[in-house]
Amino acid sequence: MLTETERDQAAEAILQVYQTKIQTIRPSALYPHIEFDDAYAISAEVARRQQAAGAKLIGYKVGLTSIAMRRSSKIDEPDYGYLYDHFLIADGAKIPHRNFCVPRVEIEMAFVLGQPLQGPGVGLLDVMRATEYVIPAIEIIDTRVDEPRKIYDTIADNGAGAGLVLGGRPLRPFDVDLRMIPGILYRNTDIEETGVACGVMGHPANGVAWLANKLSSLGVALEPGQILLAGSFIRPVWAQVGDTLRGDFGDLGSLAVQFI
């Protein structure tokens, strides 16, 4: 377990990267005795300081929702991070690659709540009833700590969350079988990754249910209007200068972003 001073030092190092775009030394290398509670405490302290500086919390993201990713990270549950208003990027936008350290892209479904959602005991149907609509999303992830990362480093680094694009066709949750939503991620004209939404814990709403129950242990409830990223159903794809990344969600439409 880290001391409060060590947690604060790790949080400050990560916060500096948001300004410099130069990766910092991963917490697990500096503090080999780091534990899961420390990693979440570092992430929460970074979030607290960002919000104190004016960032608006607009929701949360869930990561490591696939069995394969959890096994590779040697953990038995997903992780979560925070979404802010400055993460939002318009569909079709051109964004400077220099705004990130080493950006990658994932595709997933975003749930926008119409009713509050609070654990414990939240299940799939509770999420469906509380959701106003679901919409395709591209998440930009960025690693602000160096390699080789451990799960503690990813959690401390806000689950690598860095940007969010919403687009395509919004739908009410019961109007489509959310399990079977397809996802194809193109880099320029090449198909880089494909997947199906059921890759997220069997059903993407399960990712949101996990989040609601996890946050309840901290006394936090999910609020109406919040955007909740349920988890990617593909592996992340690297984005280089000049690349256009497009997510195709079949009948739900597509969305894209270009790095310049």
pTM: 0.95
At 44, list the tokens: 């929460």
Closest of 77, 236, 230, 52 to residue 160, by C-alpha: 236
pLDDT of residue 64: 80
Query: Band of the pLDDT at 77, cuts 50, 70, 90?
Result: confident
Tens digit of pLDDT for each residue in 124-165?
A: 999 999 999 999 999 999 999 999 989 899 999 999 999 999
pLDDT of residue 78: 87
| Mean pLDDT, rounded, of the chain | 94
Cβ-proximal residues to 177 (8 Å cutoff; 6+ apart), any chain: none
CATH T-level topology, domain 58-259: Fumarylacetoacetate hydrolase; domain 2 (3.90.850)
Domain boundaries, the chain: 58-259
Query: Residues for the chain: how many in total?
Result: 260
Tens digit of pLDDT for each residue in 91-115?
A: 999 999 999 999 999 999 999 999 9
Give me the mean pLDDT over the 77-85 stretch.
93
Q: Beta-carbon neighbour count of residue 56 at 10 Å?
A: 10
pLDDT of residue 75: 60
Q: For 14-23, 35-44, 64-73, 228-237, which range has the lowest pLDDT when averaged over its residues?
A: 64-73
Give me the mean pLDDT over the 229-256 stretch.
96
pLDDT of residue 69: 57
